[in-house]
């Protein structure tokens, strides 16, 4: 039978988002994906050609951490299912549904334990679950679209907040040959750099400055060939500071000699959600006990309110800096931005009570030695075969 339903009129729009083009629709879908939980239902409404399937395709790719995932329209099969980082996700097209009673034949009830996206929710009649997020797409001029969101009380605020749109990606770490700097190493079949850019795109980042002390031709070619969002450009560390290129708003800083894999909620979304007027930097930390390979004595302790404390001399602390942070450009004014050269900035924020930190809840790899890379490959291979530690 169908889930709880309501025949009450739809609530007033909670959020409206203007989408300039397909790329903006895809970036918006990635933002919504960052808020999803298992058991969520997304109803995608709007006329033919409004962008429902394009939105669903981008969202499913973000959930699967696979920008090349094949996501065909379910117009004829009526439902397509996918494996994602949050478990199974099911994409329904209800256009040819003969009535709400036909949902059972499509496996709707069983699918509702997972993530469900449904196009043409009008076919549900009054059988619209109360807990659903309804996104209605409207056609505007040219490629422009308008998305109106209703539902999800208490959860849409994160989408209404200003999101970081810039990032500084600092190259470094293992360089096995002059032609292969660390970010061009391949893990799980794709370069570290491409995986970082994908995660930044999923967080809504539009502009990335890739900074290198000594850019190689291979790195320059790779950055130039990146055609997806975000827009990436290479900068030599000796050039004028990158801060002026990223604007006055908070931006992500990512070290190129480590790589993270998201837990239930993307790490960048968690950092953005932790931002506030009383914060100058939010750091992503990882438990030393969960580091695969040598990690030393750690970098920080952490109190229950998320205030980090730097390691003292001859002290062992439970967390290492995971190479990912969200910072205010004002904090870095006049300071060198190097992969691990933020100590002075962090100290300034700490003294002002404006430094925060979050503990990462997914996999994280430091790429400093060849052994680190081998461990990372082994763990990723084990994950693909279903083995876990």
CATH code of the domain covering residue 313: 3.90.550.10
- Answer whether residue 18 shows pLDDT above 60: yes
Nearest to residue 203, comparing CAs of 163, 261, 245, 243?
Answer: 163
Q: Among the three residues 125, 160, 195, which one is the final residue of a domain in this structure?
A: 160
Per the CB < 8 A criterion, the answer to whether 171 and 210 are in contact is: yes
* First and final C-alpha spacing in the chain: 39
Nearest to residue 236, comparing CAs of 255, 219, 249, 252?
Answer: 219
Q: Residues 235, 136: one domain?
A: no
State the total domains in the chain: 2
Q: Residues 311, 178: one domain?
A: yes
- Answer whether residue 349 shows pLDDT above 80: yes
Q: Measured between alpha carbons, how far is 13 from 351 in angstroms, rounded to an integer? A: 42
Q: Residues 226, 358: one domain?
A: yes
- Answer whether residue 220 shows pLDDT above 50: yes
Which residues make beta-bridge pairs with 146?
Answer: 18, 138
pLDDT interval class at 383 (50, 70, 90):
confident
7 found inside a domain: no
**Residue 226: strand, helix, or coil:** coil
Q: How confident is the model over 116-151, as pLDDT tens digits? A: 999 998 888 776 777 889 999 999 988 889 999 988
Question: Which one is predicted more confidently, 54 or 68?
Answer: 54
- Average pLDDT of the chain, as a whole number: 81
Question: Which one is predicted more confidently, 208 or 389?
Answer: 208
**Residue range 166-192: mean pLDDT, rounded:** 66
Q: Residues 177, 102: one domain?
A: no
Q: Residues 280, 294: one domain?
A: yes
Q: Residues 114, 254: one domain?
A: no
Q: Residues 95, 173: one domain?
A: no
- Answer whether residue 174 shows pLDDT above 60: no
pLDDT interval class at 69 (50, 70, 90):
confident
Q: Where are the beta strands (DSSP E) in 64-198?
A: 79-84, 87-93, 115-119, 133-139, 145-150, 166-170, 186-187, 190-191
Q: Using the structure block, give the residue that is written with the tokens 């229950």.
A: 304
Residue range(s) defining the domain that contains residue 224: 166-384
1 found inside a domain: no
Q: Residues 271, 286: one domain?
A: yes
pLDDT interval class at 89 (50, 70, 90):
very high
**Looking at residue 127, which CATH number applies to its domain?**
3.40.50.300
What pLDDT is stored for residue 179 in this prediction? 40
Q: Measured between alpha carbons, how far is 21 from 42 in angstroms, rounded to an integer? A: 21
Q: Residues 200, 84: one domain?
A: no
389 found inside a domain: no
Q: Using the structure block, give the residue that is written with the tokens 């030695």.
A: 369
Q: Residues 227, 359: one domain?
A: yes
155 found inside a domain: yes
Q: Residues 186, 234: one domain?
A: yes
């Amino acid at each position: 039978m169908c889930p709880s339903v309501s025949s009450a009129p739809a609530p007033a729009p909670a959020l409206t988002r203007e989408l300039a083009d397909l790329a903006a629709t895809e970036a918006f879908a990635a933002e919504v994906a960052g808020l999803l939980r298992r058991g969520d239902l997304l109803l995608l409404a709007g006329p033919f050609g409004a962008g429902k399937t394009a939105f669903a395709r981008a969202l499913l790719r973000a959930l699967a951490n696979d920008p090349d995932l094949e996501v065909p329209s379910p117009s004829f099969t009526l439902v397509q299912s996918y494996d994602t980082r949050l478990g199974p996700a099911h994409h329904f097209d209800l256009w040819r549904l003969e009535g709400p009673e036909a949902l059972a034949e499509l496996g709707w009830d069983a699918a509702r334990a997972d993530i469900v996206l449904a196009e043409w929710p009008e076919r549900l009649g009054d059988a619209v679950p109360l807990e659903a997020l309804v996104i209605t797409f409207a056609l505007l001029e040219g490629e422009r679209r308008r998305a109106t969101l209703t539902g999800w009380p208490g959860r849409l605020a994160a989408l209404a907040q200003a999101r970081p749109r810039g990032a500084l990606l600092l190259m470094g770490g293992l360089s096995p040959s002059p032609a292969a700097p660390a970010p061009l190493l391949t893990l799980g079949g794709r370069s570290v750099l491409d995986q970082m850019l994908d995660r930044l795109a999923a967080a809504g980042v539009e502009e990335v400055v890739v900074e290198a002390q000594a850019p190689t031709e291979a790195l320059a070619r790779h950055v130039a060939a990146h055609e997806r969002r975000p827009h990436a450009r290479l900068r030599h560390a000796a050039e004028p500071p990158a801060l002026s290129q990223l604007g006055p708003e908070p931006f992500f800083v990512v070290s190129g000699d480590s790589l993270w894999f998201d837990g239930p909620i993307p790490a960048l979304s968690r950092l953005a959600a932790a931002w506030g007027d009383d914060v100058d930097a939010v750091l992503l930390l990882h438990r030393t006990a969960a580091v695969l390979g040598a990690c030393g004595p750690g970098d920080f302790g952490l109190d229950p309110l998320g205030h980090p404390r730097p390691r003292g001399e001859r002290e062992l602390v439970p967390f290492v800096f995971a190479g990912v942070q969200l910072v205010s450009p004002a904090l870095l004014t006049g300071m060198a931005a190097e992969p691990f050269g933020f100590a002075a900035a962090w100290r300034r924020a700490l003294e002002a009570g404006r430094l925060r930190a979050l503990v990462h809840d997914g996999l994280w790899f430091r790429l400093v030695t060849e052994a680190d890379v081998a461990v990372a490959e082994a763990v990723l291979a084990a994950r693909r075969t279903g083995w876990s530690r």
